[in-house]
Amino acid sequence: MASHDLLIHTRALAGFLACSEETCPGWRHRNDVEARHYAPHWGGRDVLGAEKDQIDKALAHISRKRPAVGKIPEAKRTELGFSVLRGLKKFFGELPNGRRAWFTQSEAAVREALSAEGARQGEDS
């Protein structure tokens, strides 16, 4: 169940980062809170790319393709999670100073996680 939760949160945060005024019409996401609501010049970031479709098919919803997709390997889920964290880091960097203070704890957590990723990659090489 934990891997399913990770994918749900990965997809939700990727959706938060994805939209700009140009890429997502306001009527389509009128009830969603998105990065562009905090960072006025946010251009949207597609942090999942083609993997989003695989995540969508792996999560619980009616789909004819889920059995063919199979489970997303743990290493891939980890890679996707770090991709979202790198997108959040860019988001924090584009926030106006007054709004950036709202995300101090989140920004510190992202920095810590990305630092751990760098250490992990150093061990792998």
Please tell me the distance from the alpha carbon of residue 51 to that of residue 80, in angstroms, as a whole number: 8
Alpha carbon 62 to chain centroid, angstroms: 23
At residue 98, does pLDDT exceed 80? yes
Q: Does the pTM exceed 0.85?
A: no
Q: What is the pLDDT of residues 46-81, one digit of tens each?
A: 898 888 887 887 776 655 555 555 677 888 888 888
How does residue 4 score in pLDDT terms, banded at 50, 70 and 90?
Answer: confident
Contact 86, 79 (CB under 8 A): no
Asked if 46 and 79 touch (Cβ cutoff 8 Å), the reply is no
Residue 16: CB atoms within 10 Å: 21
